[in-house]
Amino acid sequence: MTATIPAGVETARDLVGPAIATAVDRLSPEVRMVAAYHLGLTDADGRPETRTAGKALRPALAVLSARAAGAAPERGVPAAAAVEFVHNFSLLHDDIMDGDTERRHRPTAWTVYGIGAAILAGDALLMLGQDLLLEGPAPQGLWASRCLAAAVQRLIAGQGSDLAFERRDDVTLEECKQMAGDKTAALMACACSIGAIYVGAPAALAMGLAGFGAHVGLAFQLTDDMLGIWGAPEVTGKPVMSDLRTRKKSLPVVAALTSGTEAGRELGELLAKPEALTEDELADGARLIEAAGGRDWVEAEADSALASAEKCLAETEMPDDVRAEFANIAEFITARQW
């Protein structure tokens, strides 16, 4: 497995990047400043940045999705930008909710501009995504917009569960998987199908691609949850063991807690402590998750999700080079960096 960003992702970024920058220019000055900083277009003072922000996987998937329908990559650009805006809307708001202070190796927007400004920038990007689709060709622009709106509602439902889980100590593994499906897989399914929808592809293609994306999205969340515990900070851009530190009910944690093992029981006691966890306790926590089988379970689930994704891909009609690029991205997304 590889951790190198597939070439198609870079190409898509070059294609979609200018459309993103142009659309952000429509925002009012105060809101634009925050959005541009968050998107990595500018630094905190509004000066142009050359650094790349985020992996831009979703736009790459959306462009591929248009190509899967036989369209030129350019035709998928509005859909790709829309998905990226919605993804960044959710990051802006989630960072506030989760109290995260660092993202992509930079201070999060709310720590730089305040909570109010970051909420607004998220709101603006959410609507900007819809704007781009609705001003596109009818009726496909409308279909794409409804597809994205449905994904957004699932994203919100997933984040709502995530917040609620923090206050509960009886979260089941089933609930946790549902949450990951809502929070991550729904938008990934949308990214993989929206380009095709936007260029007017037949329903069978859109549905096959959405199925692929849903499985890839689940694999992605499982991987992300692993990185939240065992990932290197220089790779994740987040503090070491960030998810354990905040006692997030991530998939490996819940798998361990509900394992019925002695290690799982001890993990429950550790996480129930009212005080902040020390570095030693965090290391203990990570070991207990492994001992309770949480890590093995997540790896097996990720492999299984990836296999399902590959099956969807194989069964859906599309040009071979496009299928190969989808497979590359799926593999990249779940490459293990811990």
- Residue 164 near a second copy by CB under 8 A: yes
Number of Cβ within a 10 Å radius of residue 170: 8
97's enclosing H/E stretch is: helix 77-98
Query: Which is nearer to a second copy, 151 or 267 (by Cβ)?
Result: 151
How far, in Å, CA of 100 to CA of 251, rounded? 19
Beta bridge partners of 106: 103
Identify the CA nearest to 16 among candidates 43, 70, 55: 55
- Residue 168 near a second copy by CB under 8 A: no
Could you list the beta-strand ranges (E) of 211-305.
none
Burial-class residue 232 by CB neighbours within 10 Å (0-12, 13-18, 19+).
exposed
- Residue 116 near a second copy by CB under 8 A: yes
- Residue 127 near a second copy by CB under 8 A: yes
- Residue 163 near a second copy by CB under 8 A: yes
Could you list the beta-strand ranges (E) of the chain.
102-103, 106-107
Query: Which is nearer to a second copy, 33 or 254 (by Cβ)?
Result: 33
How far, in Å, CA of 294 to CA of 146, rounded? 37
- Residue 115 near a second copy by CB under 8 A: yes
Query: Which is nearer to a second copy, 93 or 295 (by Cβ)?
Result: 93
- Residue 114 near a second copy by CB under 8 A: yes
Site for a second copy in 13-42 (CB under 8 A): 26-31
- Residue 97 near a second copy by CB under 8 A: yes
- Residue 335 near a second copy by CB under 8 A: no
Applying CB under 8 A, the residues found at the interface with a second copy are 26-31, 89, 93, 96-98, 114-117, 119-120, 122-124, 126-128, 130-131, 134-135, 138-139, 141-142, 145-146, 149-150, 152-153, 156-157, 159-161, 163-164, 182
